[in-house]
Each structure stands twice: as structure tokens, then as C-alpha cells.
Amino acid sequence: MTRRPWLYAATAATCLAGWSAVATAATLPASNPFAAESTLPYHAPRFDLIKDTDYQPALEQGMAEQAEEIDRIANNSEPATFENTIAAMERSGRLLDRTLETFSGVYSANTNPVLDKVQEVVGPKLSAHQDSIFLNPKLFARVQYLHARKATLGLNAEQKQALDVYYQNFVQAGAQLSDGDKAKLRDLNTRLSKLETVFQQKLLAGTKASALIVSDKAKLAGLDDAAITAALTAAKERKLDGKWLLPLQNTTQQPALESLTDRETRQALFEQSWTRVEKGGDGDTRDTIATIAQLRAQKAALFGYKNYAAYVLADQMAKTPEAVHSFIAQIVPALAAEQKREAADIQATITKSGASFQLKPWDWSYYAGQVRKARLNFDENQVKPYFELNTVLQDGVFFAANRLYGITFKRRTDIPTYNPDVMVFEVFDKDGSELGLIYFDYFQRDNKNGGAWMSNFVGQSALLGTKPVVYNVGNFTKPAQGEPALISFDDVTTMFHEFGHALHGLFAKQTYPIISGTSVARDFVEFPSQFNEHWALNATVLAHYARHYKTGAPMPASLVALLKKAATFNQGYRLGEVVSAAELDMDWHSLGADAPKQDVDVFEKSALAKMGLKTDLVPPRYRSSYFLHIWSNGYSAGYYAYLWTEMLDDDTFAWFEKNGGLTRKNGERFRDMILSRGHTQDYGPMFRAFYGKDPDIGPMLTFRGLNGSKN
């Protein structure tokens, strides 16, 4: 997943009614690390100097400075030109940008009570500041004037696209609304941004509090020694001596469910995950999300859309909710049949073991593992010794990127970080020139949001003279001191995925920030990342990084074959949990403005029941109450993007396979036509230029093993 700091911080925030973004602020003291551009390479954040208390004054001063800049643009007595309006807006807000990009990254990955308070206090002002720009009638008049005359201005292709995007953003933000509706919109944005922050903070606290505490080591039977040691360490960090603690990941299913042999422990862990923020009291998120859904529907109605999904999808590749439902409908028949077959196989395995209980969701992963072991003679623990995190990164992720694009990497221990676990690498292009920096923050912490993501500390822009500084964040289990970081193949895939986002950011070569790098639609932004996942199982790449952490021996060919077969095993579950989450998201955002506030439990039960899938056994990857993507991270009515872009990436990988696979020629073509383009073109034509035709779902079903073929 990729995040865009401006959208993330502005929408996951509170908003104070009556705040004026033109309000002045005291001059930021020179001692504040954000007062001037960082002197570190690539303007990387000065984490060696930044204190938690530096963010708020810098953000407030940054808003005040940009407000003055915007005011001058809007009130310029000269006729509007691209340079004095669009380019001028792109140059504005430099202090705000560098502070907000840094704050967003740290707040998501390494928060604390001070940063939480900064978000609560400054968030309102960020939301109102954004409204003050996009609802400024004088500013919009200049943009509208230019847009109407676009063909006569002598603009190059990138300038025309930047102008189009600005115009669309103004319209989507409410620039064409009446004054009365603008007032309603400001109020809705105020309330939504507050609720989105409330949701995020409740979820972080609830996820931490719902970790499973185990008092008897025997209850952890099935976990390997490293996992048990990690659980003991996690408990000690919370001063729970003599106990073991299994922290929750952000997803419904938890990794330990595949290994735990004790059914009571499996059920307890699943239920802690399923109810993490449904325990009543102040930490319960259900009322919060029901209100968010209702207010979003009301916001969409102001723009004349029948629901929020239609409003959101207007500028996406899919365009309409109907197109999304039609796309998912092509998946469901094969998926439903696969779920039925898998459930029968698992129930038969349970019965064969001598047990008499009926399959439940907390049993699926464990017994699916038993089926896989019996059918393929494969166990996830067989491959973990061949996946040491640093080896996977440097000899796998970096190696594939070098073979495809010619780029190289150098560890930088002189660049300060916000946490000791973070690694920094400098990236060099194929000709040896400096390309950018990348930070890796892989280990789970209680003060880190769940999941994995990529974003920028510094965005690329020729106009601003900046090169990309990007980061990848994950939530892998941290090994005990001195132990190797052995990870699952799912974790390996996550590393390749997030690095695909990083490549999209690193290869950006745009002039204007608004269309640079990953500043693209949600149902396009996951395309490069999911495409990059394919190289994890490429024979050449896998042979280079899958080596035993003790002996250095390569993974045996027989085990490689099993790993590849296992990649398409259990697809009824693995695809099913994503499809049901995507449909749940679309259902929430298909509510009309006149719909009453929903009872979350009733709504979710009804939505899941009508999907035609075994959602009682294969629950959604994220339940409504902890669906961070859609309630706080900018993926509202957009979770389908992971499936849509999987279609794009599988089409693309099929093209690679037909044209020689892992070659520099193919990599350069993909870099030139997709990875380096940002949003300089519309998505459909961009994809067709590479693939040669519209996307089709065939390769996706093939790679998933759902059309009779196993890849």
C-alpha cells in the first residue's frame, strides 16, 4: 500500500470550525529543524535534530506561509498564466510539505502521546487549510480560465496534464458548489476529519490491548522456538513476566493460527482479532464508522452523486461502482467453487484426524496447512530458514531491481533515522548517477499502525529540484536479540510488493509534484507493487536469495517446486478474504444520503451474507470495525484496487513471460512506459500502450490457479 502524506494527514485529522488558514503565525525560530531545507543528502529529514515538539509550530507556520502565497496567487492583478497560477501553486508550501511529509511518516510508524496530540491539534487546521485553497473562488477562477483555454496556451503534454489534474481536484473538492453548499461541505469535512482521527487512534489502542496473553507455554504448542521466544520477549516488554504475548496484526487472520495445535488458543486468538475494537466503551469503533459512512454519503450528495463510491470513483481507472461490481462478478463463480472444494477438503481432514467438530474460521489456516502438508508435503516452516530478512532484501529485492533496471544500492549508516530498527540505502541509477534514498522499517511495534506501506519523506520534482526519499514500512515479528530475522514467504512477498511502490517513486521524473511518482489513482497505484511481487518466485531471483541462514546452501530444487505449488494453494481463502473486504467496502460506500445511520453488526452480517461466498468460514481480511484502509487511510470505496491492479500486474507479467522474462530490455520498457510516468497520462491509454490491449482477467485467474491452470 502507498500513502500520500498530504491526503493522509489532512483527512485523518480533526478540523476546527472557523479556523482561517490565512491566520498569521510567529516566525519559526531558526533552531527548529524544519525552518530551512535539510542539509543532509537529498534533503533527508534531520531525525538527529527533530524533537517531537518541533512538528506543531512548523506545521502551523507552514500553513500560514502557504496561505499567504496562495492569497498572492489568487489576487494577482496580472491575467492568469500557467506559470503564475499552476506552477506558482506547485512551488508554494515548501515548509509545510517538508514538515508534513516527515510528520506523517513518523506518526504512522512510531507514534507516541506527544505526536498523537499534535495530530489532534494540528489536524483541524490542516483540513481547513486544504478547504481554504480548493474552495477559494478567486483561485478557482484562474484555474478555470486556464483550463478553458488549455489548447491555446502553448503548453507541453505534462503541463496540460497538471492543469487538468488541478482543475479536477478543485471540482472534486467543491469549487463549483454554491456558497451554501460550500459551508455544508466545510462542516462535513470538519466532522469527518475528526472522526477519522478518532477511529485511527482507537484502532491502534484496541489492537495493542487485544494481544493474546498466554499463561501456559503448552498452549503455544506448534509454534517454533523463535516464535515462542518472540512471544516471551513481547510479554516482558509489557512487564508481563512469566507469560507469553501474541500481538495482533492488522488483518483478521493471524499468522500463528496456521501453527497453533491447541484449538482453544486458536479460537481465543481469532476472537481477540475479530473483536479488537468491539468491546464496548470508549475504545469501540462501531459508532464512529457508522457516522463516517453516513457523513460521506451526505458529502457525495452535495456533488450530485448517488453515493460516496460514485463520487470517489469518478477520477479512478474503473470510473464507476458498476464497473467495479462487474469486475468482481467475473471472479466470484470460480472463487465460490474453490472455497466449497477447499472447505470440504479441510472438513474431511478434521474428521480423519478423529475430531468431531465442524470447521470454524479459526481452524481454517491450521487444517489448510495440514491439507497442504499431506498433499504437497510442504510446511511453511520448511522454507523459513531460507528467508533471512537482510538476505531477502539485498540478494532478492535489490538483485531483481538490478537485473531489470540496472540500479544499485549502498547502505548509509550516516543518515539519521527515527528508530534504531530503520535501515537506509542510497540508490544509484544504471549510469551511476544518484537516484534517491530509501528507508526500511520492517519490525512490528506497539506504536506502529498495522500493515505495510510506502510513501515519501521527499517527493521528486524537477520544478523544485528534489529527488525522491522514500520509505517502506512493514510489521514483521522482530527476532530476539542476536537471533536471525527469519520470515515467511508471505513476508517475502510483502517486501517485494512495497519495493514495487518504492520503484514507482524512485523512477519518477516529472516536473510538477502533483503528477509525480505515486501520485496516481488508487486503482493504478497498486499495479507496480503487485507486479513486483512476481519476481519473488522467479527462478533466477529465488536462487539468488533463498539460502539457508546457517549454511548458505541454496534451497533444494524439490523444496522450490513445492513452494511454487504452494503459491496457488488455498486460493479460496487467500483471494476470498480480499474479495469480501472489497465488497464490504463498496457496500458501506454505496449508502445514499437519505439512509439512516447503520447498525454496524447488522449491516456487516447482511453485506457478507449476500456475496455468494463462504464468508462464515472465510471472513473478510478486515472487518468493518478495524478496516483502517477505508476509514482513515484514503482507500474508501477503493479497496477493490488491490484486485483491479492484480489484473493489470498479471497481464503485464504474462507479457514479460512471452517476451523473455527477467531482462534489462523488458525492465527498461516497463520503467519507461509505466514506472517513470507518474500521472502524466490517463491510465487506460498508458496501460494499453504497454500491454497492447485493454486489461483482461484471464492471466489473473491463471496465476491464482482458478481457471484449471496452475502456474
Give the model's pLDDT for residue 634. Answer: 84
In angstroms, the CA 621 to CA 273 distance is: 11
Determine the residue type at 486. Answer: L
Q: Residue 711: is its pLDDT beyond 90?
A: no
Question: Which one-letter DSSP state was computed for residue 409?
Answer: E
Render pLDDT for 2-37 as a digit per residue (tens, 0 to 9): 543 333 333 222 222 233 333 444 589 999 999 999
Q: What is the mean pLDDT of residues 340-345?
A: 96
Question: Which one-letter DSSP state was computed for residue 253?
Answer: S
Three cell numbers, residue 278: 468491539
In angstroms, the CA 527 to CA 78 distance is: 42
Q: What is the mean pLDDT of residues 659-675?
A: 98
Give the model's pLDDT for residue 4. Answer: 39
Higher pLDDT, 450 or 236: 236
Give the model's pLDDT for residue 708. Answer: 54
As a whole number of Å, the end-to-end CA separation of the chain is 25
Q: Strand, coil or helix: what is 408?
A: strand
Render pLDDT for 370-391 as a digit per residue (tens, 0 to 9): 999 999 988 888 999 999 999 9
Q: What is the DSSP string of 24-51?
A: --PPPPTTSTTSS---SGGG---TTT--
Q: What is the mean pLDDT of residues 91-118?
A: 97
Contact 472, 504 (CB under 8 A): no
Contact 117, 18 (CB under 8 A): no
42 band by pLDDT with thresholds 50, 70 and 90: very high
In angstroms, the CA 242 to CA 235 distance is: 8
Contact 331, 611 (CB under 8 A): no
Contact 412, 425 (CB under 8 A): yes
Three cell numbers, residue 368: 489448510
Three cell numbers, residue 399: 538483485
Contact 273, 253 (CB under 8 A): yes
In angstroms, the CA 553 to CA 22 distance is: 63
Alpha helices by DSSP H, listed for 426-566, are 489-506, 522-533, 539-545, 557-566
Contact 155, 138 (CB under 8 A): no
Average pLDDT, the chain: 93
In angstroms, the CA 4 to CA 638 distance is: 14
Give the model's pLDDT for residue 3. Answer: 43
Write down the residue that cell numbers 481454517 correspond to. 364
Give the model's pLDDT for residue 27. Answer: 84
Q: Strand, coil or helix: what is 425?
A: strand
In angstroms, the CA 407 to CA 430 distance is: 5
Instruction: Look at strands 469-476 and 434-443 and give their pairing.
Output: parallel
Q: What is the mean pLDDT of residues 332-355?
A: 96
CA angle 76, 80, 85 (to 5 degrees): 75
Q: What is the mean pLDDT of residues 69-84?
A: 98
Q: Which of 327, 332, 324 is nearest to 307 (CA)?
A: 324
Residues annotated as part of the active site: 498
Three cell numbers, residue 240: 508481563
Give the model's pLDDT for residue 706. Answer: 87
Q: What is the mean pLDDT of residues 550-561?
A: 96
Q: Residue 506: is its pLDDT beyond 60?
A: yes
Considering the entire predicted model, what is its pTM? 0.89
Q: Which of 83, 181, 67, 68 is nearest to 132 (CA)?
A: 67
Give the model's pLDDT for residue 22. Answer: 38
Render pLDDT for 220-232 as a digit per residue (tens, 0 to 9): 999 999 899 999 9
In angstroms, the CA 231 to CA 477 distance is: 9
**Bridge partners for 245 per DSSP:** 213
Q: Alpha carbon 592 to chain centroid distance? A: 27
Backbone angles phi, psi at 153, to 5 degrees: -90, -5
Q: What percent of the chain has pLDDT over 70?
A: 96
Give the model's pLDDT for residue 13. Answer: 25
Give the model's pLDDT for residue 123. Answer: 85
Q: Which domains can be identified in the chain, with CATH numbers?
A: 41-176 (1.20.1050.40), 212-277 (no CATH), 286-377+570-704 (1.10.1370.10), 384-413+421-478+487-568 (1.10.1370.40)
Determine the residue type at 10. Answer: A
The residues near 190 (Cβ < 8 Å, ≥ 6 apart) are 14, 15, 16, 17, 124, 127, 128
Q: Residue 319: is its pLDDT beyond 70?
A: yes
Q: Which of 524, 678, 514 is nearest to 162 (CA)?
A: 514
